[in-house]
Amino acid sequence: MQISSMTALELGRKIRQREISAVEAAEASLARIREAEASLNCFVTVDEEGALARAAEVQKAVSSGTLTAPLAGVPVGIKDNMCTEGLLTTCSSKILYNFKPTYTAEAVLNLEKAGAVIVGKTNMDEFAMGSTTETSAFGVTRNPWNTEHVPGGSSGGSCAAVASGEVPYALGSDTGGSIRQPSSFCGVTGLKPTYGTVSRYGLIAYGSSLDQIGPIARDVSDCAAVLETIASWDRKDSTSVKREDCDFTAALVDDVKGLKIGIPSDYLAAGLDEEVKAAILKAADVLKTKGAQVEEFDLSLVEYAIPAYYVIASAEASSNLSRFDGVKYGYRAKEYEGLHSMYKKSRSEGFGEEVKRRIMLGSFVLSSGYYDAYYLKALRTKALIKQAFDRAFEKYDVILGPAAPTTAPKLGESLADPIKMYLGDIYTISVNLAGLPGMTVPCGLDAKGLPIGVQLIGDCFQEKKIIRAAYAYEQGRGPWELPAPACVAGTADAAGGNGGCADGGVRTAAGSGCADDGARTAAGKGGI
């Protein structure tokens, strides 16, 4: 089997058994990246040199027996909104085009302690605001199943990188569905943990009360193993929760007998694509066959989650993103007159359209006279949504539904109409508002050959229930083939519009020219 077709745990096992060295694993990942990036653009930064050096170091620890973790030596891609010391971290925004953090995010540190080898930073919607990875300042990422389609977002780079075999797994972040929806679009498995399970320290905030880091991988077992590694009670994150039940791999049990699964009938209502609906119901049948009790129920309030989310997330974002002002780091406009002009020009030139749209909305809903009508109203709605889930989880162990109303749309189709784009988040957003864990597992392809994912939602701190359901489903579903590497490379022509990728599109950390200015190779991507 090719290294690029292995799951993270398989590759880790072979590294521990000395069948493959960590350096070989890193080289295989880098080779795959070189091959596929021209057509996909999953990465903002590829740290070839750093990855190889790190792999050699990890290999020594593995060889000497000091490192025995299941993921030791396995390459990983990190979404570009997590700080990595000395390695460019841009949030796919021009405003952080040259930012090299002075510390590493806690979740990433946890991975490093377990011997992970970071090969690069993955592309995303700018500041995680978007559902298609088209709002990146460093060019769009394309869906490995069909490069005319988006990979979803905002963790589109991470999901596409896993789907195309560039890395066996990646970290993403999920504020309103940003792990689960692109996982669905890319045919990979993604998990958004209960709020507070993974430290947010070093995750560049979008909506602080909603953001959560989680794994994206080829299967459920990998997701459980990665989550087990990154989850930690972190004193540096006040919202971090102390949990005693982080042995998530213990839930990898092929048994759902008696498990009560509810399907919100509101999730199957108008707006849901028929093919997606059929695939979801088929997935439910698989679980039913295995002994789960499945029934439809009325969750209620589903449509109100979107407006509540956009008020809360935009309000928090307007404040979180005010630190990007050209004073301490990142982009500063070249010409300005005085302080406020510097602020305005740096921010207006540095942020993209969608980010500005949300900052302005957020500033408005918090402004004098509107706070009660918008912000507090949204927080009250959030409380009602949480209550609705509480009621549901009195009856069910797991809620099952789609992750998105459709399969991946074509590039350029979504951005034109923001409301329509926001509506695409309808099945994922309420999970963030209620702080719940949610997971997407691939469950079929539509007629166009694009993947469909089934979403499993658990009550807070009940990751194990959804992992067990997902694992059992996976066993019942059978093997899932990701697009063959050759197939992906063959579609390179389709990415012609990606602008100036003649060099193969791979940016290396060393060559990214961050010290000077915006002229870094990213400019060649037509992004900025």
Active site residues: 79, 154, 178
In the range 182-221, which residues lie near other proteins by CB under 8 A?
Answer: 195-196, 200-205, 207-209
DSSP 8-state class, residue 437: -
| Residue 226 or 241 with smaller CB distance to other proteins | 241
Residue 409 CA from chain centroid, whole number: 18
What is the closest distance, in whole angstroms, from the C-beta atom of residue 334 to other proteins in the complex? 10
Distance from the first to the final alpha carbon of the chain: 39
In the range 326-355, which residues lie near other proteins by CB under 8 A?
Answer: 326-332, 336, 338-345, 347-348, 351
What is the closest distance, in whole angstroms, from the C-beta atom of residue 359 to other proteins in the complex? 5
| Residue 74 or 78 with smaller CB distance to other proteins | 78
| Residue 159 or 436 with smaller CB distance to other proteins | 436
d(CA 428, CA 417): 19
- List of residues 6+ apart from 271 with CB closer than 8 A: 405, 423, 426
Beta-strand relationship, 169-173 and 213-217: antiparallel
| Residue 68 or 341 with smaller CB distance to other proteins | 341
Which letter, b or e, does each residue of 83-118 get, where b requires 16 or more Cβ atoms within 10 Å of its Cβ? Answer: bbeebbbbbbbbbbbbbbbeebbbbbbbbbebbbbb
Q: Residue 79 interacts with other proteins (CB under 8 A)?
A: no
- List of residues 6+ apart from 391 with CB closer than 8 A: none
Binding mask 142-181 for other proteins (x = CB under 8 A): ----------------------------------------
**Max CA pair span of the chain:** 69
Binding mask 448-477 for other proteins (x = CB under 8 A): ------------x-----------------
What is the closest distance, in whole angstroms, from the C-beta atom of residue 206 to other proteins in the complex? 11
What is the closest distance, in whole angstroms, from the C-beta atom of residue 159 to other proteins in the complex? 22
In the range 375-434, which residues lie near other proteins by CB under 8 A?
Answer: 375-384, 386, 418-419, 422, 433-434
Instruction: Say whether 171 sits in a helix, a strand or coil.
Output: strand
In the range 212-271, which residues lie near other proteins by CB under 8 A?
Answer: 235-239, 241
| Residue 145 or 389 with smaller CB distance to other proteins | 389
What is the closest distance, in whole angstroms, from the C-beta atom of residue 188 to other proteins in the complex? 25
List C-alpha distances in Å: 68 to 55, 226, 249, 318.
14, 15, 16, 43
Q: Identify the H or E element spanning 263.
A: strand 260-264
| Residue 434 or 443 with smaller CB distance to other proteins | 434
| φ, ψ dihedrals at 400, nearest 5° | -120, 140
Name the β-bridge partners of 415.
none
Q: Residue 499 interacts with other proteins (CB under 8 A)?
A: no
In the range 100-119, which residues lie near other proteins by CB under 8 A?
Answer: 100-103, 105
